[in-house]
Amino acid sequence: MSDTLRPEPRPSRRVPWSIIGIAAAGFVLLALFLLADRVVEGGSFAFDRRLLLALRGTDGAPVASEKFTSMVRDITALGSTTVLTILVVFVALLLASAGRWRTGVLIAAACASGSWANVLFKHAIARTRPDLVPHLMAETSNSFPSGHAANSAIVYLTLATLAWPLLRQPAARGFAMGAAVLLVVAIGVSRVYLGVHWPSDVLAGWLFGALWAIGWWRIELRVLARSVTTETFASGRRAR
């Protein structure tokens, strides 16, 4: 009996990840609520005007060259609905073909539901696009929260958390998560540079997307844990 017992970890090594995760999610949700409430009440943010104007010259033209502006458009396309949909479909099909269809379904469900929820959020807030500077690309939908920022956070952060258990080296894990965060930040910043979003729209999109990705990551852990338990139980019964 004593051989099967494992010693408990020392108290200093017991990291309360559940409590930390709940606290972080609560903080993100509170920040998102405060932003949305300020926008609904018709309030404005000083940093919105300052950042938009800082990226334009006195004539309203971007401060950088046309070549750089073209690069920014390429970056913003990485957060478009078309690109993200293709990416999610390919990843889901790849996982299904490798026998991990549960994970593929969860990823597809997380990304699709997040995109729909963000659209509903946009309609509920109904904030218009900024008219402080000329837009460098055409956009017609509502502004808050940024769909590119939210959807890219949902997709790329979800894929990074998916790759986490597959990567054994801490450096590889750090690179995967860092690359996802860097990509999400670049896409959000590109929306401000192009003048099609207020910075607060992008900030709200990041918060919304991160919160959604964390929530579905927890769901994925629970579902996969149950499937592993069920498979272990079934294999044990067959062994008898």
**Catalytic residue numbers, as ranges:** 148, 197
Rounded Cα gap, residues 51 and 63, in angstroms: 12
* Residue 192 exposure: Cα atoms within 13 Å on the Cβ side: 23
Cα 35 off chain centre by: 17
Q: Which helix (H) or strand (E) holds 75?
A: helix 66-77
Is residue 156 within 8 Å of residue 183, measured between CB atoms? yes
Over its C-alpha atoms, the chain yields an Rg (Å, rounded) of: 21
Cα 164 off chain centre by: 15
Nearest to 159 by CA among 206, 103, 117, 115: 103
Alpha-carbon torsion (116, 89, 221, 163), positive or negative: negative
Other Cβ atoms closer than 10 A to 235:
9
Token pair in block for residue 43: 């309030």
Cα 186 off chain centre by: 13
Helix 199-239 crosses helix 147-163 at what angle (to 10 degrees)? 30
Tell whether omega for the bond before 7 is within 30 degrees of 0, i.e. cis: no
**3-class state of residue 130 by DSSP:** coil
